[in-house]
Structures are given as structure tokens and as C-alpha cells.
A and B are shown apart, each in its own frame.
Chain A
Amino acid sequence: MPNILSQLEPIFRDILDNSRLNLTRESDASNVAGWDSLAHINLISAIEQHFGISFTLGELQGLKNVGEMIELMELKLAI
């Protein structure tokens, strides 16, 4: 199974309509163009459907960047 970051990158590229986006663990809404509140909901929706997981609002509010999201996803995916 490809690692989570490499699976997240095409999702971010698709939702944010940026085929050259290089996603890192340090990526967050302040340093990724187009990552606004509506795009955020679109990203979470796409991630939930791709990985077959679901987040609570509380879990999402505590995340600071993609790296922290990956850590949360690793817990949910038990990897």
C-alpha cells in the first residue's frame, strides 16, 4: 500500500486544481494556495471517501498541518 502522503497528493492536486502541487507533512492552509474553508471541506470529503474513514469535527479542529492529519489517519487505519 503506497504511503499516505503519496496518496494524499493527487487528492489535493485534484481538489485544489493544481497539478504541480508538492504536498509535504508541513503543508497547511497558510502555505498551500487555494486551501480555503470550502476547499478544506472538499478535501476532507475526498479523503474520507478515498480511505474509507471518517473524522469528527473535534479531530479535525486540532490538526495543524498535513503531517498531523497523516498521524491521525495512521491511527484510524491501524498502520
Chain B
Amino acid sequence: MNSYRWDELSEGLSHEFEAQLTQSMLKEFLELSGDQNPLHTDGEFARKAGFRDIVVYGMLTSALYSTLVGVYLPGRYCLLQGIDVDFVNPAFLGDHVRIAGSISYLNQAYRRAEVKASIHNGDGQMISRAKIRVGVHEH
């Protein structure tokens, strides 16, 4: 886990990591969210809707943005204050995804950073993009 302090952050500082979207993640997300929409549970339903397979929850993949800021950028002292996400393409079970973010702006008065982030699948296709607003606590 990274432990950037406010004074160590700079615009352009970036980090990335990879993850795989697994069946167990889908199952656990269903349990914790209660989102039973068949697009995420029923392959036949998903295919009739025009997708090649079960679609992974957008909010599940977005949980990886929490990891991006909470573990990597800035890491240990992160306070997640807000996030805007656009879901550009569907993610599917088994996808290997790459989560990347870069500090695009630092507000010195309120010590808040904005991180431009994105998730791409193994084919290089963008799954989602986000603007994440984070503070850095002093503890």
C-alpha cells in the first residue's frame, strides 16, 4: 500500500494495477448489493439483450476505483470524497482489467486532489472512465 502525504503529491503522478473479474466477485456483489437484475445473473437474458454473456455490474468494476485511490493514489491516507463514472463498454466475466489513474489537479486550499482514471479490458477497450475527488488526512 502506498502512503503518499499531501506534500508528496504532484499533478501527473500516476499508478495502475490489474485485476480479473471472477464468478465469486459477481456472487459476492449480488449478495451485498441485492441487485438481482438478470443482466448480471442470467446468460440467456443477457444474450437476448444483445450482450455476448453476463454483464459484470458497473458498480462492481467501479469498486476497483476505490482500490486505486485507497491503496495506490494516494493510498493509506486517502479520504474518498466523490466520483463521477461513465460506463463506456460492458465488462464480462473473466475479463482481465487494468485500472489506471493520474492526478489531474491539486487544490492547495482544501488539500484535495482530482484523479482522472479509467478501466480497460485485456483487448485495450475502455470499460469506464472516472473523475475521482480525494482528500488526504493527516493521521
Contacts and interface: CB of A to CB of B under 8 A. Distances in A.
Interface of A: 38, 41-42, 44-45, 48-49, 54-57, 59-60
B24 interface: no
Given A38-B81, A42-B133, A49 B105 contact: yes
B82 interface: yes
A45 B112 contact: yes
A43 to B, nearest CB: 11
A59 B110 CA distance: 12
Which residue, of A42, A57, A60, has the highest number of chain B Cβ atoms within 10 A?
A: A42
Nearest to B108: A54
Interface of chain A, helix or strand or loop or mixed?
Answer: helix
Interface of B: 81-82, 105, 107-110, 112, 114, 133
B82 A38 contact: yes
Main secondary structure of the interface of B (DSSP, over half): strand
B107 A48 contact: yes
Nearest to B81: A38
Contacts of B114: 45
B132 to A, nearest CB: 13
A48 B114 CA distance: 13
Nearest to B109: A57
A49 B105 CA distance: 8
B110 A41 contact: yes
Nearest to A40: B110
